[in-house]
């Protein structure tokens, strides 16, 4: 199963035709995805399930439906176990950005985090997951596939938000402040954190 976020509304992509009475289901192979997304944006649809019987083909069929933009980013943790957040468009977010030609996904993730926050000495410790969300660029709907990595750093210098990218703040946040920030974040960002962390019940939230 996959989730594709339209703003904070998830489109479910699964092998099941029926997942609940509130959901409108469409066959993934033939659905006019952009039409469905526009209905969601207009508030005419709230619960959507796209289904196909073969789980191995779900992602392949999904990525054929729209222009895909590949991005990469990081959940950066310092020696104090604080997480690096950025503030953009009135939401707390994690740094990420579009991959460039002739660089690996990992290289993209490190470069984008450095550019957006000014942090240095980054080391990738593990791959977390991929997230999917729809955005509009020059009037056209596109699907962003973002690769997320956990990163560690011993950097304790000044953070410099990338203003030209609309980033107003770059801040280290401890457990309590991170949980508060996530309440004013995006649904796909919350997916990167364990449920216990979101509920404020766990301090053992990073390796």
Per-domain residue ranges for the chain?
A: 2-63, 71-198
Q: Which residue ranges in the chain fall short of pLDDT 50? A: 207
What pLDDT, on a 0 to 100 scale, did the predictor assign at position 195? 75
Q: What is the pTM of this model?
A: 0.92
The owner of tokens 């035709």 is: 17
- Range 71-198: architecture per CATH: Alpha-Beta Complex (3.90)
What pLDDT, on a 0 to 100 scale, did the predictor assign at position 207? 45
Report the alpha-carbon distance of residue 14 to residue 54 in Å, rounded.
9
What pLDDT, on a 0 to 100 scale, did the predictor assign at position 25? 97
Token pair for 95: 């740094």
Token pair for 93: 């977010």
What pLDDT, on a 0 to 100 scale, did the predictor assign at position 138? 87
Report the alpha-carbon distance of residue 77 to residue 43 in Å, rounded.
37
CB proximity list for 53: less than 8 A, separation 6 or greater = 15
Cβ atoms of 81 and 57 closer than 8 Å: no
For the chain, the distance separating the N- and C-terminal CA atoms, rounded to the nearest angstrom, is 26
Angle at 192 between CA 146 and CA 188, to 5 degrees: 60
């Amino acid at each position: 199963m996959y989730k594709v976020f339209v703003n904070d509304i998830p489109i479910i992509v699964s092998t099941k035709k029926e997942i609940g009475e509130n959901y409108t289901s469409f066959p993934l192979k033939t659905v006019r995805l952009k039409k469905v997304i526009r209905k969601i944006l207009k508030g005419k649809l709230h619960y959507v399930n796209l289904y196909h019987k073969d789980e191995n083909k779900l992602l392949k069929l999904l990525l054929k439906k729209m222009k895909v933009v590949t991005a990469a980013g990081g959940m950066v943790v310092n020696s104090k176990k604080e997480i690096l957040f950025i503030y953009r468009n009135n939401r707390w977010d994690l740094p990420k950005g579009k991959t460039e030609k002739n660089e690996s996904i990992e290289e993209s993730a490190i470069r984008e985090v450095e550019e957006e926050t000014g942090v240095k000495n980054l080391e990738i410790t593990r791959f977390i997951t991929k997230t999917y969300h729809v955005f509009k660029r020059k009037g056209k709907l596109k699907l962003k596939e973002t690769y997320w990595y956990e990163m560690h750093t011993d950097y304790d210098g000044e953070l410099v938000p990338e203003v030209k990218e609309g980033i107003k703040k770059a801040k280290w946040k401890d457990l309590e402040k991170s949980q508060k920030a996530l309440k004013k974040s995006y649904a796909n960002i919350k997916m990167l954190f364990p449920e216990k962390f979101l509920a404020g019940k766990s301090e053992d939230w990073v390796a």
